[in-house]
Amino acid sequence: MRTSHDFLFKVSVIGDGRVGKTSLIKRFTKGNFDTNYAITIGAQFSEYKQVIEGDKITLFFWDIAGQDCFHFVRPSFYVKSHAAIIVYSLETNKFGKQSYRNILNWYREIKQFCGDIPIVLFANKADLIKEKNLNKAKIQSLIDNLDLWNYYITSAKSGKGVPHAFNSLIENLYHQYISITTNH
Ligand code: GDP
């Protein structure tokens, strides 16, 4: 029997204010959803534990406020992230479109403060659109251009896609780190 390993991963969750970052983390870690909006002040984190192949993984999801007013404090919250999730909203209104355009800014900010860490994209609020109207080729080409790990269609409200999105990230992170650990 091999000895088990313990991993601790910090995952920063970023994107425009109100795209659903807090709701996604809450949905995944606590299994519930709140329609009331409460602004995240600076940042807050949620702990989540999982066991994969006998190894214990502790995750800290850092929910980082996207509003401009937190611009100066954000860099300190990114410190030592192992991965990042960029969230945007699929709403077809101005807000949703702006959150899509801002993906590039969030990507640049992560690169600047975290370096070359894995990044995934969550396209959230999928319950507000018809999935058949979604231009997946456009999202995939953005993923390819920015060399992101993957994208996931999520709804924090209905819960659809949320476990798959988070679990895929966790499993990929785990496999990346376990291969480094066991090769040494
Ligand atoms: P944050 O500022 O990015 O953390 O966004 P919040 O998680 O606070 O969500 C902002 C608002 O959008 C809240 O009123 C949520 O109830 C709502 N919301 C979040 N996720 C979803 C979703 O998947 N679908 C819908 N319809 N509303 C959502």
pLDDT digits (tens, 9 = 90+) for 81-108: 999 999 999 999 999 999 999 999 999 9
Residue 1 inside a domain? The answer is: no
Domain count for the chain: 1
Residue 66 inside a domain? The answer is: yes
> Nearest residue CA, atom 9 of ligand 1?
20
What is the pTM for the complete model shown? 0.95
Please report the atom of ligand 1 found closest to the CA of residue 155: 23
Residue 99 inside a domain? The answer is: yes
- Euclidean distance between CA atoms 24 and 10, whole angstroms: 16
Which residues have CB under 6 Å of ligand 1? 17-23, 34-35, 37, 40, 124-125, 127-128, 155-157
pLDDT digits (tens, 9 = 90+) for 21-72: 999 999 999 988 888 777 788 778 899 999 999 999 999 999 988 888 888 8
For ligand 1, the distance from its centroid to the CA atom of residue 172, given in whole angstroms, is 26
Select from 13, 14, 18, 88 the residue to mutate for testing ligand 1; criterion: most ligand atoms less than 8 Å from CB. Answer: 18
What's 21's domain CATH number? 3.40.50.300
Residue 42 inside a domain? The answer is: yes
- Euclidean distance between CA atoms 161 and 166, whole angstroms: 9
- Euclidean distance between CA atoms 144 and 48, whole angstroms: 29
For ligand 1, the distance from its centroid to the CA atom of residue 169, given in whole angstroms, is 21
Instruction: State residue 184's pLDDT score.
Output: 55
Q: Which residues have a Cβ under 8 Å from the Cβ of 66 and sit 6 or more positions away?
A: 14, 15, 16, 17, 19, 21, 106
Q: Give the domain range for residue 80.
A: 6-182
pLDDT digits (tens, 9 = 90+) for 150-163: 999 999 999 999 99
Instruction: State residue 176's pLDDT score.
Output: 93
What crossing angle do the helices spanning 103-114 and 94-101 adopt, rounded to 10°?
A: 30
